[in-house]
Amino acid sequence: MALLEIRNVTRRFGDLVAVDNVSINIEAGEFFTLLGPSGCGKTTLLRMIAGFDLPDGGQILLDGKDLAGTPPEKRPIHTVFQSYALFPHMTVTGNVSFPLKMAGKSPDEIAVKVKEVLDLVHLSDKGESFPHELSGGQKQRVALARGLVNRPRLLMLDEPLGALDAKLREEMQIELITLQRDVGITFVFVTHSQAEALALSHRIAVMNAGRIEQMDEPSKIYSFPVNRFVADFIGRINILQAEVLEAAPDHLRIRIPGMGEVRAPAKTGAARGQKGVLALRPEQVRIAAKIDDVADENHFPGKVRDFLYVGDITTYIVDLNNGARIEALLPNSATGRAKFFEIGDAVKVAWPKDAGLFLND
Amino acid sequence: MINLLNTTRVTKWLVSGPPFLYLTLFFLLPSLIMVVASFRYPGDYGGLAPLFGVEPGKETGLTLETYRFFFSDFIYTQIFIKSFGVAMASTLVCLLMAYPLALLIAHSPRKHRDFMVLLVILPFASNFLIRVYAWMIILGPQSAFSLAVNHLLGWFGIAPVPLLFSSFAVLVGMVYVHLPFMVLPLYTNLEKHDPVLLDAAQDLGANAWNRFWKVTWPLSLPGVYSGAALVFIPVLGMFAIPDILGGTGDILIGNLIKDQFLGTRDWPFGSTLSIMLTIAVLLLAGITAMISRQGVRQ
Ligand SMILES: Nc1ncnc2c1ncn2[C@@H]1O[C@H](COP(=O)(O)OP(=O)(O)O)[C@@H](O)[C@H]1O
Ligand SMILES: [Mg+2]
């Protein structure tokens, strides 16, 4: 039985359907991520799990028991809020011991548990500090410690790293993974950052406009997006308008305006004449000054229009001679040179015939 | 280095200078005038006797007589104690009545709040004395309110009590007049509380009782302190309400001081009473500040 079962949950605000018939099963010990753009309903779903809001339809079950009649303070579920929501009038120790006091634990037990959890988040020396004396990262850790200290069945984190700068965010990501593994508590993590979701999660649910578009492991979501929204939202990708010319059992022959005819992997249900897009990751596209005709590759000549140098890799934007535009990615690891191509260079791009995905529009 | 030191010193003076001047002019100097007056003799027809003898046999110069007089009759200390009691009771009742109201306003939709605050301060639009006289009618023996109260008491076998000209009427008047001074600082404070803190508390297992006493109340203490000060101090000096609503036994410090200046025309003793009042209030403020500093470290 799943730890948390969300069954056909719907929440409306007037005409707006903020959460639309969502069903999720979350297993004990899982690091589960809700990923989606701002306003897609992630917080609304969290608030219903926490008990601050009630579904208009559907059920939420914890350990098989319907939570409908249980108020937030009685649910063994804690939340780390985006703004941390630390109590400004309490010290770090006061904040972290709060849930234990509410649970009626003895002072001795409280002291032991608070010390344990502060060690865990590396804040042992900050017990007597007040929130306003802490840095953003430290506040984040206090909020985590406060959520974890009474060992909830489920810890929900609503965009907890959003307020941190990039470097700190990366450090906290690594700490979060370690922490979740060490304490063994189920995490439901909410973010609008696809990179964060891919790096942290065991499983991701990609949400859009209140609905779940795809739910799977990070590598599956990245490699096999089920539709254009997911493909576009996760990572950089070339989205090329396409029409099916021939749907063979082992491959597709498609036409891309401004490019020409290409081969793509087979797709069940695709039929001749069907319109859609070809989704192709830049790292699947090879770029070179000269490419010999290879039978198992699609290849086209073009000119470098622009490039994006980010240190370890460079993304080249190439205008094909036939008119289409495509992004190709090149690692800068070759010795002895800093850059491969200049703007205006004539190049060739190529990708394997079994790369890319044809997606319905 | 020296230059920097000088500029900071100059800046410090520029910043603290005007408030310092202001306090000297409007607080320190008047207080000093009163201190000096309290050590002098009363004049023949009110006012103060001249400092240097003009006629032989007349009392001139400085004296401790008024202070000796204050401490020789216990009645004055008694009135002081009673006044502080009334001020504390008024402050407490104001707090009990204002807190729920301030919470209600702070939790109302933003667009309604200004209107509700306006309603709170609306009584200021009519004259203070008229509003106090209105209570004479409300509490008068033939008023519907009086009749209802006494009828109710009758059910419990209690003989009718006059409401007007009593300590009760004084308390009612004090609370009524000073309630807005408690509501406003409380509301200003409560309105600034981040509602997510209450969500967090509830999420972490706090029921409504604990959410109030562990989060809302401690965070509202600055508002409680300023509201209490704004009620307590004016009530201490108030003479009109005891005059109008109180009985003969409901004299407070304010009445006493007023009488010295306008009735008995004993300015030195009036000054003495005022100084004792100021000292008592400052002592109390100091004690409160010390307690609150120990209680909530910000
Ligand atoms: N209490 C509410 N009343 C009306 N609309 C709301 C309320 N809460 C959220 N919404 C709307 O529901 C949608 C989803 O919001 P939210 O769950 O906060 O999105 P996310 O957390 O994914 O950014 C948004 O369009 C938001 O404006
Ligand atoms: Mg949100």
A98 neighbourhood in chain B, CB within 8 Å? 201, 204, 206, 214
Q: Is the per-residue pLDDT at A300 higher than 70?
A: yes
Band (pLDDT 50/70/90 cuts) for residue B298 is very low
**A266 exposure class (CB count in 10 Å sphere: 0-12, 13-18, 19+):** middle
Sheet holding A251-256, edge to edge: A260-265, A251-256, A238-247, A275-280, A357-360
* A182 shares a domain with A258: no
Do the Cβ atoms of A278 and A237 come closer than 8 Å? no
CATH 1.20.140.10 fits B73-265, yes or no: no
Q: How far is CA B92 from CA B89, B175, B253, B280, in A?
A: 5, 9, 19, 19
Mutate to test the interface with B, among A44, A47, A73 (most CBs of B within 10 A): A73
* A197 shares a domain with A91: yes
Number of CB atoms found within 10 A of residue B173's CB? 24
Q: How far is CA B240 from CA A238, B109, B231, B244, B286, in A?
A: 83, 38, 15, 6, 28
pLDDT at B264: 85
Distance in angstroms (rounded) separating the CA atoms of residues A318 and A194:
25
Task: Please name the helix (run of DSSP H) or strand (run of DSSP E) that holds residue B283, with its range, or none.
Answer: helix B267-295
Percentage of the residues of chain A whose pLDDT score is greater than 70: 98
Spell A103-125 as b/e; 16+ CB within 10 A means b. Answer: eebeeeebeebbeebbebbebee
Q: CB contact, 8 Å: B2 with chain A?
A: no
Q: Is the per-residue pLDDT at A96 higher than 50?
A: yes
Q: Helix count (H) and strand count (E) of chain A?
A: 8, 20
* Closest-CA residue of chain A to B199: A52
CATH number at residue A318: 2.40.50.100
pLDDT at A338: 60
* A141 shares a domain with A197: yes
Q: Considering only A131-140, A263-272, B120-129, B206-215, which range has the smallest mean pLDDT?
A: A263-272
End-to-end distance of chain A based on CA atoms, in angstroms?
36
* A202 shares a domain with A111: yes
The residue whose CA has the least distance to atom 24 of ligand 1 is: A39
Q: CB contact, 8 Å: A128 with chain B?
A: no
Alpha helices in B164-259 (DSSP H): 167-191, 195-203, 208-211, 217-237, 240-245, 253-258
The residue among A181, A212, A231 that closes a domain is A231
Q: Is the per-residue pLDDT at B293 higher than 60?
A: yes
pLDDT digits (tens, 9 = 90+) for A309-327: 888 888 999 999 988 999 9
Q: CB contact, 8 Å: B196 with chain A?
A: yes
Mean per-residue pLDDT over chain A, rounded: 92
Q: Domain of residue A118: give its range.
A: 4-231
CATH number at residue A62: 3.40.50.300
* A299 shares a domain with A196: no
Q: How far is the CA of B71 from the centre of ligand 2 (A)?
A: 68
* A223 shares a domain with A269: no
Task: Check CB contact under 8 Å for B204 and A88.
Answer: no
A73 neighbourhood in chain B, CB within 8 Å? 202-207
Q: Is the per-residue pLDDT at A255 higher than 80?
A: yes
Q: Considering only A8-17, B65-74, B183-192, which range has the smallest mean pLDDT?
A: B65-74
Q: Residue A154 carries which side chain, given as an amino acid letter?
A: L
Number of domains chain A is built from: 2
* A241 shares a domain with A227: no
* A161 shares a domain with A59: yes
pLDDT at B54: 67
Task: Check CB contact under 8 Å for A98 and B197.
Answer: no
Do the Cβ atoms of A48 and A195 come closer than 8 Å? no
Q: Is the per-residue pLDDT at B297 higher than 50?
A: no
**Domain coordinates in residue numbering, chain B:** 73-265
pLDDT at A336: 58
pLDDT at B44: 79
Q: Is the per-residue pLDDT at A78 higher than 70?
A: yes
* Ramachandran sector of residue B248 (left: φ over 0; alpha: ψ -120 to 50; beta: rest): alpha
pLDDT digits (tens, 9 = 90+) for B1-44: 456 556 777 787 778 888 889 988 998 899 899 999 999 888 87
Q: Is the per-residue pLDDT at B151 higher than 80?
A: yes
pLDDT digits (tens, 9 = 90+) for B222-267: 999 999 999 999 999 999 999 999 988 888 999 999 999 888 888 9
Tokens for A21?
Answer: 């018939």
* A76 shares a domain with A23: yes
* Of residues A62, A53, A121, A59, the one with CA closest to residue B202: A53
* Of residues B9, B201, B36, B52, the one with CA closest to residue A88: B201
The residue among A170, A204, A231 that closes a domain is A231
pLDDT digits (tens, 9 = 90+) for A161-198: 988 888 888 888 998 999 999 999 999 999 999 999 99
**Minimal Cβ distance to B215: which of A77, A87, A99:** A87
The residue among A211, A231, A251 that closes a domain is A231
Task: Please name the helix (run of DSSP H) or strand (run of DSSP E) that holds residue B9, with its range, or none.
Answer: helix B2-23
* A92 shares a domain with A144: yes
